Amino acid sequence: MSAPPPARAPLRPRDWLRLAFVAAHVWAVAIPAIPSPPSRLSVEELSKRGAKRTLAAWRGMLAAAGVELSHEQAARGVARVANRAIAARNLLSKPMEPYRRLSGARQSWRMFSQVSDRTARLEVWERRNGVLEPLYIALDPAHQWRGRTLRAERMRAYTNLFVSKTGRPSYVALVEWLACLRKAEPEAGEGMRVQMQRLQIPSPAKLAETGALVVDQPYWPEERSYAALDCAARAGAPADDPGEEE
């Protein structure tokens, strides 16, 4: 006959303190991570293109279960529930905000946020004999001038601002910097054009058929003539590694 298991030692005060700390930490990081909009949601926001499509899919599932709702009814219901969830989340997470700030445990990006089917990419073109030729096209392995620099993590975070059409002064500064880098190269042409190219992700069926994104109209086109550039103040601009071509 086997011996009975030894009695478990009672929890000491430091064990209770450790449990309290772990519970407080889980509370501090889990509550802000609950999926919900970052701020108050309105019916107007739910009528935008991406949200409207998502809401239509949910309405379709409800209709299959016998619940028919118009877009306006569904939008009002979603906004009401979402705003109550936001208020509850903010109320529960506020007491732990000082701890999150001091410990660095804040959630700095939106979790489970909706992914837009519209984006944009950075493109750098060079004018040679009056004709534009691609130098750098983001995500295109065939055109990767200064690719190591422009693909770097910090540079991608920098250029991601331009996808949402924010940071125009920084964009213009980037154009000037790239043009001066190219002007210093022996094979440079006559000038440079930098733009943000709009892209759209098609339906899964269309993407499987074409294997490509839909190219829309570009925005923020900026042209620079190398001859007219004064790059003296930018003479110390960094260059790519010699092993850039991979």
Q: Is residue 110 part of a domain?
A: no
H or E element in which residue 83 lies: helix 71-93
> Is the same domain home to 19 and 96?
yes
**Least confident stretch, 53-67, 68-82, 112-126:** 112-126
Which domain covers residue 186, as residue numbers? 118-234
> Is the same domain home to 227 and 130?
yes
Report pLDDT digits (tens) over 110-153.
665 666 778 899 999 999 999 999 999 998 999 999 999 999 98
pLDDT attached to residue 244 = 42
Q: What is the pTM of this model?
A: 0.59
- For residues 101-111, give the mean pLDDT: 73
Give residue 178's identity as a one-letter amino acid code.
Answer: L
For residue 192, the SS3 value is strand
Report pLDDT digits (tens) over 10-46.
888 998 999 999 999 998 888 887 777 667 778 887 7
The count of other CB atoms within 10 Å of the CB of residue 101 is 10
For residue 5, the SS3 value is coil
> Is the same domain home to 51 and 126?
no
Q: Is residue 243 part of a domain?
A: no
Give residue 103's identity as a one-letter amino acid code.
Answer: S
> Is the same domain home to 99 and 53?
yes
State the total domains in the chain: 2
DSSP conformational letter for 196? E
Q: Is residue 131 part of a domain?
A: yes
